[in-house]
Amino acid sequence: MSFVSAQNIFQSYDGRPILERVNLEVDEGEFISIVGASGCGKSTFLRLLLAQEQPSRGAIRIGGAVPAAEPGPDRGVVFQKYSVFPHMSVRENIIAGESFRRPLGRFFGAAKKAARARADATLERIGLGHVADAYPATLSGGMQQRLAIGQALAAKPRILLLDEPFGALDPGTRLAMHDFLTELRAAAPMTVFMVTHDLAEGFKLGDRVLVFDKPRWDPHDPGAYGATITYDFDARDDGIPFQTIKEVANVPDQT
């Protein structure tokens, strides 16, 4: 069985179907980009992966475990906004990645010192060492998102979920964030799901690009059907799939 497995997922709000028949198998270490029209349910799918919501039908398993009932430290997340804690300094935000699972949410004594040292090492690595004592509001958007990713990774999640993490950044900062994310993955392989509305970004960063769309469409009632994964592109090797494609004769299209 694959690492992350979503089987026959349906989700509807107030009887309105948003997602239908979503099936997905993901191997450990894969980077999955998710693209699709605005409002088609990408964030909904991410919330399901996060276990922030339960699907109306179907189940999502990570590592074969029972489906989670609520978000936990095995799933890290970075949203477009509100991803760091505004009342904590940059360093405290990183420490929170480890300390929030403690009984009082804090380290004390020697453990506190050690966590502080680890946080400072992390901050150096992600290029935020010089602003360790600043509050997030004083940081640029790119630095805030870098901090958010660093904080999520400090908790050592099994999968990392990114919902349009660079959506609010200017193009230059966005490119720098791509390099940042690529470096992090080179240093420590991790399974990532990233929603983006930038197709090029999806292909650049992803191993696979999933397209969410409505396979059925009723012109008289646009909300009648939900979206599903309509394409599952191989995006390795700069998205030029014929380099590795295996031709399988007499088998209908898998997607």
Partner 1 sequence: MRFINRRPGLALGVFLAALPFVAVLVAYIIGSQMRLAENPSDKLLPAPATIAQTAERLFTTPDKRSGRILLWHDTAASLIRLALGVGISAVLAVIFGLLIGLQPHMRAAFSGFVSVVSMIPPLAMLPILFIVFGLGETSKVVLIVVGILPFMIRDLSQRVIEIPREMIVKAETLGASSGVIALRVALPQLLPRLIQALRLSLGPAWLFLIAAEAIAADQGLGYRIFLVRRYLAMDVILTYVAWITALAFAMDLMLRWLSRRAFPWSEAAL
Place of tokens 């898998």: 254
d(CA 192, CA 204): 14
Yes or no: say if 119 and 94 are a contact pair by the CB < 8 Å rule. Answer: yes
Under the binding rule (CB under 8 A), the answer on residue 190 touching partner 1 is no
Query: What is residue 205's three-state secondary structure?
Result: helix
Per-residue string for binding with Mg ion, 178-207, x by CB under 5 A? ------------------------------
To Mg ion, the closest distance from the beta carbon of 48 in angstroms equals 13
Half-sphere CA count of 61, side-chain side, radius 13 A: 12
Q: What angle do CA 109, 135, 157 make, to 5 degrees?
A: 65
Stretch that binds Mg ion, among 39-47, 86-94, 184-192, 233-241 (CB under 5 A): 39-47
Under the binding rule (CB under 8 A), the answer on residue 70 touching partner 1 is yes
Query: What residues contact 221, with CB distance under 8 A and at least 6 apart?
Result: none
Yes or no: say if 169 and 141 are a contact pair by the CB < 8 Å rule. Answer: yes
The residue type found at 159 is I
To Mg ion, the closest distance from the beta carbon of 235 in angstroms equals 20
Name the site residues for ligand ADP (rule: CB under 6 A): 13, 18, 36, 38-44
Under the binding rule (CB under 8 A), the answer on residue 107 touching partner 1 is no
Per-residue string for binding with partner 1, 155-184, x by CB under 8 A? x-x---------------------------
Under the binding rule (CB under 8 A), the answer on residue 4 touching partner 1 is no
**Closest by alpha carbon to 37, among 172, 241, 230, 201?**
230
Q: How far is CA 142 from the centre of its chain?
A: 17
Under the binding rule (CB under 8 A), the answer on residue 63 touching partner 1 is no
Stretch that binds Mg ion, among 16-24, 37-45, 70-78, 97-105 (CB under 5 A): 37-45
* Terminal C-alpha separation, the chain: 19
To Mg ion, the closest distance from the beta carbon of 195 in angstroms equals 6
To Mg ion, the closest distance from the beta carbon of 40 in angstroms equals 9
d(CA 208, CA 238): 11
Under the binding rule (CB under 8 A), the answer on residue 44 touching partner 1 is no
Q: Which of 2, 5, 7, 52 binds partner 1 (CB under 8 A)?
A: 52
Point out which residues bind partner 1 (CB under 8 A).
50, 52, 70-73, 75-77, 79, 81-88, 96-97, 100-106, 135-138, 148, 151-152, 155, 157
